[in-house]
Amino acid sequence: MDERAVVTRFAPSPTGALHLGHAYSAVRAHRLARARGGAFLLRIEDIDGMRSRAAHVAGILDDLRWLGLDWDGPVVFQSARLEAHAAALETLKRRGLVYRCFCTRAEIAGAISAPHGPTAPYPGTCRTIDAASRPGESHAWRIDMARAVAAAGPLDWRDERAGVVRAVPEAQGDVVLARKDVATSYHLAVTVDDAAQGVTDVVRGVDLFDATHVHRLLQALLGLPTPLYDHHPLLVGADGERLAKRRGSPSLASLRAGGVDGRKLAAGLMEDTPPAGFSIART
């Protein structure tokens, strides 16, 4: 019997209202922690200063309370942890594993045009540029994936559903670790913050499965522990499409305003039974 002390977390971005997909993930993480006598943490991933809103933070707290989900300890705001992210980036700089990227989005889009497709990895345009020749110019920091993979050696991680997964971060290319507008990124911040909070089990949607390859690499390079991952299936609407803020999926706030009982909704999600009109993707 597994007697590990379990710490899970729910880490939404306050860039819009939560929807049922968020609720499904939060419920699963909360259930795991409570079933094992562990801790369920709440982290607000608000590093996107342009889109994050205090009103959305308040809405997240209201939604979780409506669902009957409590959390342990204070709410952690990712924007308050930028120094820790910067320190991790400095470690990678000292090892020569990152480089400055001066490219604009338009330049990157042009460089990865067909036949590669819009999701092709960054082609390494700035990898060999002499940064000293462009002093003071705005830049992001990208990982030199080939060097990083060579430095880390073979890696794997364990997923609740997929079993032991061989890490193949090179498939993601030279991902951004610090953006031009903020000195961190999702990949760097989530890896550093999960370790700092002692998260043992990461419960999140299968849409983030590929990102875990990068996170496993960063854990190795920074000497951080590797959690157990549970990448659960996504909720989809009647059209079969995944729920997403950008698609205008029904918000939890709208369900609450419509008189839906949040605790009953959460109980159904715990049993993998979403409301009528929604289903759990099985592929």
- Active-site residue list: 245
- Sign, CA dihedral 50-51-55-58, equals negative
Task: Fill in the DSSP letter of residue 245.
Answer: G
Cis peptide before 115 (omega within 30 of 0): yes
* Cα distance between residue 141 and residue 129, in whole Å: 13
Q: For residue 201, which phi and psi values (nearest 5 degrees)?
A: -135, 120
* Cα distance between residue 226 and residue 200, in whole Å: 8
In terms of DSSP bridges, do strands 235-236 and 279-280 run parallel, antiparallel, or are they unpaired? antiparallel
With CA atoms as reference, report the closest residue to 40 among 48, 52, 28: 28
Q: In DSSP terms, which residues pair with 140 in a beta bridge?
A: 101
- Give CA 268 to chain center in angstroms: 25
| Residue in the structure block whose two tokens are 């193949």 | 168
Q: How many residues are listed for the chain in this entry?
A: 283
Which pair of structure tokens corresponds to residue 38?
Answer: 């562990």
Please, are residues 127 and 188 in contact by the beta-carbon 8 Å criterion? no
Burial (CB < 10 A; 0-12, 13-18, 19+), residue 214, is: buried
Task: Fill in the DSSP letter of residue 246.
Answer: G
